Structure 1
Amino acid sequence: MRSFKLTLNPVLAAAGALMLAMSGTTMANDCSNQGALDDRYCDENQDMVADAPKDPSQWRDPSTLVFTYTPVEDPAVYQDAFADFQKHLSEATGKRVVYYSVHSNSAQVEAMRSGRLHIAGFSTGPTGYAVNLAGYVPIAVKGYETEFQGYNLIMLVRADSDINTMEDLKGRTVAHTSVSSNSGNLAPRALFPDMGLVPDEDYKVAYSGKHDQSVMGVLSGDYDAAPVASDVYDRMVDAGRVSADDFRIIYRSARFPTSAFGYAHDLHPELAEKVREAFLSYRFPVEMQETFDGADRFFPITYQEDWKVIRDIAHATGTAYTERGLQQLAEREAAAAKK
């Protein structure tokens, strides 16, 4: 499947924003519960994700479905990895499916909120922004027959480093990935203080932008250490991009869920059900299993239950899945990209 780039005419974008604002006002006047969701969405069944619009005229049934995966590592790798699934999704829905390359978490959220993106895999941390601000409905994560695939926050140092414990990180430069990343920023800020280590106070935080860039930065000596997602690191080792012999892991957290997959809340309910069935009926081919650490299917989850630990971490760090929070995320990602 080829990559697909989308642009918006500024006039149309402004008109779209006005329509969204108006629909949000209408929704607010005709909704008994919104929870933490943006004003344009409703959550009357209280499952913490946006309900489908009550007005059938607001249901979307596009001839082409736009799909993307979280912007970690090399986007081209995952465009190829999901090619077979896109074919399956196309057959299940009767729609053309194209891959939309995104290069930041905030851009991915904005793409779904603006209606340019219909189906996506969001990283663990940014999933909350997508749910609250873009009407994203997570339904699955990569997994196995009996459980979903998880990952750990690991703290990496070079094998020849004099850093042996978390205490040794004091006074050093440590690469966090991006402000919205669970394992790359939020979890360290929530978990490390209980270990006597406060990011930005006990060590200098430098944002690398992505997990693989943190790993490579530790290897090159740009950073003394880096908290990263274990699954990303393991994939880099398996692919031969780095050698495990060059690193030591001085900390490993409890298990977190991996990226969430789902769809925009305003897809026509019949189309949304076809998308759901496409995810749950699909079995990964061998090449895709190798890419995703042995996962062989999409395992069903709910945002309300399976993302609770992630929301708790966000709450502990003062992270708000709000408009202002997303703006701050975009600003920090832009600043990191310039480095």
Structure 2
Amino acid sequence: MAFPHALYRTLLSTGAAGLVLCSSLASADLAERFSDADGDMVADAPSDESQWVDPDTLVFAYTPVEDPAVYAEVWAGFLEHMEEVTGKRVQFFPVQSNSAQLEAMRAGRLHVAGFNTGGVPVAVNCSGFVPFTMMASEDGSFGYEMEIITYPGSGIESVEDLAGRNLAFTSPTSNSGFRAPSALLRSEYGLEADEDFEAAFSGSHDNSILGVVNADYDAAAIANSVGTRMIARGVVDEGDYDIIYTSETFPTTAYGHVYNLHPELVDKVTEAFETFEWEGSALQEEFANSGESQFIPITYQEHWAVIRTIADANGVTYDCD
């Protein structure tokens, strides 16, 4: 893929940043049905060609959001481009949860997808997901930050003020919506969920943000890129919530294919991402709000090292079989 070289945005000096240093090469734990002969930490394509899948219709899913119909329109132009490049019909699959998306790929019903940051290791290890690209800005930099937000007048002005209050996470597989804030709150502030504060799961970053704005939650851990896009769409306004913590920078949604997709079709899917023209597209209109304007190449082994380290710090294991 002839994408420009990817650059990390500057990491902020936080307690979570220290986690990166302790185990940057944390290992993957692929399910037994997968093999990894080349050691790149993702499932190899089956050696038996009869196990390759070459569907008439490719099914694509974007990571769960509060209103999947909005993103069906956002992705429509890109999926038309993928149809032209692959010669296949491409269908948008509006998943309602991370678990539904993971199970769909594991069961062979989902071929190409964008998984959220924290969900990528689960998808890789349990569903045979092979990530190869992500969105980035014009200069090749990429990523987002985890923020802890609260509503104005909540009485919460610092992380320490979360004690005795309630905090919304998104889902257990989410990096910014659960794993990173859990590690941070425990290691830096001595705050444990359901001991020092009440925890809830909203299901998505959109739901967490709206829940805080409507004072359903005292606070929430979110990906700031989602908040930026919601403000740009007019779903919420600047000033509807206050930010009490901002993390280091993490990689954003990874896009890839299921491991047993026919190799020739994999090449075409990859080409679709590589050759998509952003200018004037609905993707540009939506994702420019978070500074993204192109797809760049990635590897799970390199770009998800920090996420695997955070998972290790939280004691995450993968029992896929």
The answer as to 2:149 corresponding to 1:152 is no
Distance 1:228 1:206 in 2: 13
Partner of 1:323: 320
Identity of paired residues, percent?
51
2:262 corresponds to which letter in structure 1? H
**What CA distance in whole angstroms lies between the structure 2 residues aligned with 1:217 and 1:135?**
34
How far did residue 278 of structure 1 move? 1.2
**1:279 counterpart = 2:273:** yes
User: Counterpart of 2:239 in 1: which secondary structure?
Assistant: helix
Find 1:211's aligned residue among 197, 205, 224. 205
Q: What's the secondary structure of 1:276's corresponding residue?
A: helix
Deviation of 1:119 (Å): 0.5
Which stretches of structure 1, 4 residues or more, deviate above 4 A after TM superposition?
none
Q: CA separation in 2, counterparts of 1:178 and 1:257?
A: 18
Corresponding position of 2:114:
121
- Displacement of 1:35 in angstroms is 5.7
Structure 1 segment 3-42 matched on structure 2, within 5 A: 36-42=29-35
Aligned equivalent of 2:303: 306
What code does the residue aligned with 2:61 have? Answer: T
TM-score by length of 1: 0.83
CA distance in 1, matches of 2:40, 2:138: 25
Deviation at 1:64, TM superposition (A): 1.1
Conserved? CA contact 1:141–1:148, under 8 Å: no
Give SS of 1:245's match.
coil
Query: What letter matches 2:198 in structure 1?
Result: K
Residue correspondence of structure 1 range 153-232 to structure 2 within 5 A: 153-196=146-189, 197-232=191-226
Alpha-carbon separation, structure 2, partners of 1:200 and 1:319 = 18
Q: Give the partner amino acid of 2:168.
A: A
Find the aligned partners of 1:183 and 1:321 in 2 and give their Cα distance. 19
Amino acid at match of 2:199: V
Q: Give the alignment's TM-score, normalised by structure 2.
A: 0.87
Give the SS at the match of 2:32.
Answer: coil
Kindly indicate whether residue 134 of structure 2 is the aligned counterpart of residue 141 of structure 1. Answer: yes
Contact 1:283 1:296 in 2 (8 A): no
Question: 1:235 deviation in Å?
Answer: 1.0
Give 2:232's aligned residue.
Answer: 238
C-alpha displacement at 1:213, in angstroms?
A: 1.1
Aligned to 1:52: 45
- Structure 2 Cα separation of the partners of residues 154 and 124 of structure 1: 15
- Aligned partner of 1:96 in structure 2 is 89
| In 1: Cα distance, 2:205 partner to 2:241 partner | 15
Match of 2:102 in 1: 109
Partner Cα distance (2:76, 2:68) in 1 = 13
Determine which structure has more spread, i.e. the larger CA radius of gyration: 1
Q: In 2, Cα distance between the equivalents of 1:224 and 1:59? A: 49
- CA distance, structure 2, for counterparts of residue 70 and residue 322 of structure 1: 22
1:61-105, Cα deviation, whole Å (9 max, x unpaired): 111111110112211111111111101111111111111121111
Partner SS for 2:145: strand
| Matches of 1:157 and 1:104, distance apart in 2 | 24
Q: Alpha-carbon deviation of 1:59?
A: 1.2
- TM-superposition CA deviations, 1:148-205 (whole Å, max 9, x none): 5311100111122211111111110111111111111111111122222333222110
* Shift of residue 145, structure 1, vs aligned partner: 4.0
Partner Cα distance (1:283, 1:47) in 2: 30
Contact 2:125 2:320 (C-alpha < 8 Å) held by counterparts: no
Structure with the larger helix share:
1
* Kept after mapping to 1: 8 A contact 2:138/2:292: no
Aligned residues: 291
Q: Which runs of 5+ in 1 are unaligned?
A: 1-33, 325-339
Identify the residue that residue 261 of structure 1 maps to in structure 2.
255
Question: Which range moved further: 277-286 or 130-139?
Answer: 277-286
Q: Aligned partners of 2:310 and 2:277: how far apart in 1?
A: 32
